[in-house]
Amino acid sequence: MPRSRIAVTGSTGLIGAALVRSLRADGHEVVRLVRRPAATGDEVEWDPKRQYVDVAGLVGCDAVVHLAGAGVGDHRWTEAYKQEIRDSRVLGTAAVAEALASLDTPPKVLLSGSAIGIYGDTGDRAVDEGAPPGEGFLPSVCVEWEEATAPAEEAGVRTVHARTGLVVSRRGGAWGRLFPLFKAGLGGRMGDGRQYWSFIALHDHIAALRHILATETLSGPVNLTGPSPVTNGEVTAAMGRVLRRPTLFTAPAPALKAALGEFAGDVLASQRVLPGQLLDSGFAFAFPGIDDAIRAALR
C-alpha cells in the first residue's frame, strides 16, 4: 500500500493494537476511534451504543478497519451479556457504515470484523467462504454484524468481512488464557479433543489484514484462518511439545458446561474453516503449522 490515512476501531484490543503498530511502523497515518472526547490529533470520538461518530475526523481517510466488539468469552452468557455482544457489534458497525456513507468522498475500503462463528459447528466438514451460516446465537450475531455494513457498500465502499479464527498469541484472546495453563503443566484437551480449531498466528493475521487493504479484488467474506486446521487434541499435543510440558489434564464436557454455561457449546464446537479467498488472492502464510504458530507467539 502507498502511505495512507487509516482509521481503526478497537485499537486497544489484541488485534487492533498490533495492527496500529504495524501500520505506523511503515509510515501510515493511523487515527483511532475512542469512546471519549478526542484528546490528541490522532483520535476521533465515537459512541457505538448511541451510534455516534465524529464524522469530521474521518475526512481524508483512505481506509477504515473496524474491529471493536465486546469479548465473546469475557463473561458468562447471561441474557444481558448476550445482548451486549450483539449490540456492540451490530450497532457499532452500523454507526461506522452510516458515517462513511455520509462523507462526500468516502474511503476506498471498509475492513469490518466478523468471525468464523458464522458457520456454526461444521464437524469434520471443511468449509470456505461459500458455506452458508450455521444455527445458534453466534451465527445469528455474525449475520447481523455483516449486514450492518450495508450503508457503506451502497455508497460504493469496497467492504470486506474479516471472519477471524482462533488467534495464536500469548498477549490476549482465547490462546492468551491457554499459555499460562500449559506452562504450568495444567493444560489438556477440552471434551473429547476431536473438535477442529481453525487457528491463525497473530503475525499472519496482521499480515492478512494488510493484504486485504492492499488487494482491491477482495471483497465480501474473507476467512482469516491458517491453511491447516487441527483438532483440539492436536493443539494439546503441540502445546506440550513446544512448551515441553505434560498435558495430562482434561476438561470434560460436563465440567465445561458447568463452568461456562451456554458458551461451552461453542468452545466444544468443531469448526474446520479454510482461507479460500486469502489463498486464491496469493497470500502466503509465514506460520501455517500449529507448532510454528505457537513458537511465533512465544517470540
For residue range 16-36, list pLDDT tens digits in order: 999 999 999 999 999 999 999
> What pLDDT sits at residue 135?
94
The per-residue pLDDT for 259 is 64
- For residue 153, what pLDDT is reported? 98
- Residue 297 belongs to some domain of the structure: no
pTM given for the model: 0.95
Between 74 and 283, where is the model more confident?
Answer: 283
Residue 135 lies in a domain: yes
Domains identified in the chain, total number: 1
In the chain, where do the E strands start and end? Answer: 5-9, 29-34, 43-47, 52-53, 63-66, 109-115, 126-127, 158-164, 166-168, 188-190, 196-197, 199-201, 220-224, 230-231, 249-251, 272-273
Please check whether residue 175 lies inside any domain of the structure. Answer: no
Mean per-residue pLDDT, 90-98: 97
Is residue 292 in a domain? no
Give me the CATH number covering residue 29.
3.40.50.720
Return mean pLDDT, the chain. 95
42 within a domain of the structure (yes/no):
yes
Q: How would residue 149 be classed by pLDDT, with cut points 50, 70 and 90?
A: very high
Whether 220 maps to a domain, the answer reads yes
Residue 265 in any domain: the answer is: no
Structural domain for 122, as ranges? 5-166+201-225+273-285
Range 256-284 average pLDDT: 88
| pLDDT at residue 244 in the model | 96
Burial class (CB in 10 A: 0-12, 13-18, 19+), 44: buried
